């Protein structure tokens, strides 16, 4: 049994969908490590240091003692889990597309070190929320209030709008 899990992602930037998964992970695990990792398929928008600050600034204060937010550059998720001594990965699933993307990664991670992946069904009210759609909607002048925390709304203002 493990007390600690890792919630990994790009968090570019963090959304209310991510925060919901992290907060729910704290109801199952005593400690949660939010790990900002590199997704080789994605080009980054926000610098990693800013992504960390935005996550830290958006988490409820009462969780501060049990949630740690860190970046791990160019590392395998399984190596991060070994380093922080976490026996499980927690991921949110918005729907079937997420599942199809996540299943091979969960199997590969288990193959590599035996680490288990726990999937949480995403909140249906946040199913349409992703970092990439948030950035796109903002870029073309749409309003993403309510989909991201206040600090992220502020940070988005620094991006160019079309
Ligand atoms: N509702 C529920 N869940 C959500 C929502 C939402 N609205 N939005 C996002 N999520 C979940 C996603 O499903 C995902 O589980 C997590 O939050 C993070 O999402 P993103 O988009 O920030 O992160 P990804 O998908 O780009 O992260 C991919 C990783 C960085 C985790 C992956 O590339 C990785 O593990 N990289 C490290 C290198 C490695 O180990 N590679 C081999 C993998 S087998």
Distance 90 CA to ligand 1 centre (A): 10
Dihedral Cα 22, 25, 31, 34, nearest 10 deg: -30
Q: Of 116, 113, 123, 162, nearest to 146 (Cα)?
A: 123
Which residues participate in catalysis according to the annotation? 18, 42, 94, 131
Instruction: Write down the mean pLDDT value for the chain.
Output: 97
Of 85-89, 134-138, 157-161, the range with the lowest mean pLDDT is 157-161
Of 41-45, 79-83, 108-112, the range with the lowest mean pLDDT is 41-45
> Which of 7, 38, 77, 131 is the best mutation target for the ligand 1 pocket, counting ligand atoms within 8 Å of the beta carbon and taking the most?
77
- DSSP conformational letter for 148: B
| Segment 36-78, tens digit of pLDDT | 998 999 999 999 999 999 999 999 999 989 999 999 999 999 9
Angstrom distance (rounded) from CA 13 to CA 158: 13
pLDDT at residue number 52 = 98
Q: Could you tell me the pTM of the whole model?
A: 0.97
Report the atom number in ligand 1 closest to the C-alpha of 37. Answer: 30
Report the atom number in ligand 1 closest to the C-alpha of 76. Answer: 40
């Amino acid at each position: 049994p493990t007390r600690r899990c890792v919630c990994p992602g790009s968090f570019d930037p963090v959304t209310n969908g991510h925060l919901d998964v992290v907060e729910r992970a704290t109801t199952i695990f005593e400690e949660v490590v939010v790990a900002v990792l590199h997704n080789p398929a994605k080009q980054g928008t926000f610098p990693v240091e800013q992504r960390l600050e935005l996550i830290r600034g958006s988490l409820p204060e009462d969780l501060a003692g049990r949630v740690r937010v860190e970046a791990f550059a160019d590392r395998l998720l399984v190596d991060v889990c070994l380093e922080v001594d976490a026996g499980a990965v927690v991921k949110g699933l918005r729907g079937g597309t997420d599942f199809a993307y996540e299943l091979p990664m969960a199997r590969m991670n288990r193959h590599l070190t035996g680490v288990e992946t726990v999937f949480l069904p995403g909140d249906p009210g946040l199913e349409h929320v992703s970092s990439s759609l948030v950035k796109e909607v903002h870029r073309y002048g749409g309003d993403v209030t309510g989909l991201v925390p206040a600090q992220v709304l502020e940070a988005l203002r620094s991006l160019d709008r079309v």
